[in-house]
Amino acid sequence: MGIITLASIGLISAFSRGFLGRISIFLGLVVGYGVALIQGDVDTSTIKSAALFAAPHFTTPTFNGKAIALFLPVVLVLIAENVGHVKAVSAMTGKNLDDQMGMALFADGISTTLAGAGGGSGTTTYAENIGVMAATRVYSTAAYWVAGVGAILLSLSPKFGAVLSATPVGVLGGVGVALFGMIGVLGARIWIEGKVNFANSTNLIIAASALIIGIADMSWTSGDYTFGGIINATLVAVVGYQVLNSVAKSRGNVN
């Protein structure tokens, strides 16, 4: 299913012009889902039993010090993701968005607080959406206001949620390859436009290490705390670079 979905995205993007080409990701998802449905790989039992409309289930928040401490490292992950996403959007649109970084982090924090108050999980900016922006070349904030309102309305339909939940893993994998691949290319574009010198061994080892740690999701656990690949890659890129660069400068080994 993953190959069919990814191939559909590529073919639609290559053969179509205008609007169809801009929604190649969505059309590829529909094709993959349709093929999976025909082959019987989609569990439709939950779709049939789900109600058409229903209010979401809200829970009263409780405060547990240990649980809060366990989730604190997640905040570092959200910050790292958010900063990276703003940089990717900046490279994609050709606009310097550094002055918007603080507001982006503030909005992320507020939304996470509101989600937690209603019993939801922490929120973050999504790389998938940035991949969609890169594929469609639609950067208008108005479009995302409409998408946000639409998402809220669709959340009131358990049946629609069941349709999404029934999406086969292979289909999601095919879409994910395209979307996350675009994010990776945008990151490489930032390096190119920033004229990062990879002849410098410090830059090379830090970039290579951070990439592999992040892609492989290398994590480490200390007591009750688990640090995932994103935060570890960020620490290597930010802290590791400063340490190695300082050592290189002290030895006069900077080129």
Q: Write the pLDDT tens digit of every residue in 201-252.
A: 888 898 899 889 888 888 888 776 777 787 788 888 888 888 888 888 887 7
For the chain, percent of residues with pLDDT exceeding 90: 13
Residues paired with residue 226 on neighbouring β-strands, in sequence order: 221
| Integer Cα distance of 95 and 87 in angstroms | 10
* Three-class SS state of 62: coil
For residue 131 the two structure tokens come to 């991949």
Between 222 and 97, whose confidence is greater? 97
pTM reported for the whole predicted model: 0.67
C-alpha to C-alpha distances, 69 to 82, 89, 106, 217, nearest whole angstrom: 21, 32, 21, 22
Look at residues 184, 183, 236 and name the one whose alpha carbon lies nearest to residue 205: 236
The domain segmentation of the chain, as residue ranges, is 2-49+61-195, 196-255
